[in-house]
Amino acid sequence: MSKPHVAILGLGIMGSGMAARLLSTGFPVSVFNRSREKSEPFSKAGAFVADSPREAASSSDIVISMVADDAASRGVWLGEGGALAGAARGSLLIESSTLGVAWVRELAALAVQRGCEFLDAPVTGTKPHAASGELFFMVGGSDAALAKARDVFAVLGRETIHLGPTGSGALIKLINNFVCGVQAASFAEALALVSAGGLDRDKCITVLSNSALASPLIKRMVASMAADDFSPNFPLKLMTKDIGYAIHEASDNGLALRTAAPALEVFKNAVAEGLGDQDFSAVLKSVKPSQ
């Protein structure tokens, strides 16, 4: 059987990796990005470069959005030039961005009105995982929609877990990211306390990196610090956004995330210091003993 035609909306760190992976495995691909220059390498690799999300969706069996936030998602799906207007009846629409649950459910309802199937399928992983097909998909939606996505998810990811109805994937992704944010902010403050207490920083990092708290996230932060390389695999400004979305989601469910709120302030301070476009691990640079 021929492979489905896939549209990728958004060629940022993750979307570009996904598009490249699909092209390298023989899928016909259309791409759309607001700044067209990001699309040129994909054109050379055989992708169709669309002038609008609508055009990208109109020739595709599966449409995947991977953009920054709710506003960007609305921008690519809605309106005369949006992907919903171009999507054919029976096509599968997948929102893989990290978004608010209310918007995801609204988008799913609009997809149904259009005669399309819909999945919310955010991912864990960063730039190298997207490029190598090692993402982890967290999916909300119907069994039938997921069945249509299996071949694409198998190429893009190492594992797919079906969590339940629409919005389930979106919610667990926010939960995952707020915990990551709290851990990153705590580690930044821990190193500030190391310095404030006059301890040997390198020796203390060795201790902390070999203790129970040495998660993959902490090890990645340590590696970025050691190399003095904070090139974005996951931009700090997006971590900030995700913590905020998680706090909002918890509030809607009658819960206060008491550890997330101070972590959000740590990340907001880092953004205010101009670190938003660097990797989230750059939060280490914003927490200083003088604070």
203 carries an active-site annotation: no
| Centroid of chain to Cα 40 | 23
H helices within 78-124, ranges in order?
83-86, 101-113
| Dist CA 18 CA 132 (whole Å) | 9
H helices within the chain, ranges in order?
13-24, 40-44, 53-58, 70-77, 83-86, 101-113, 127-132, 143-156, 168-196, 201-209, 216-227, 236-252, 260-272
Catalytic residue among 38, 148, 173, 241: 173
Where b means 16+ CB within 10 Å and e means fewer, 170-179 reads: bbbbbbbbbb
The catalytic residue positions are: 173
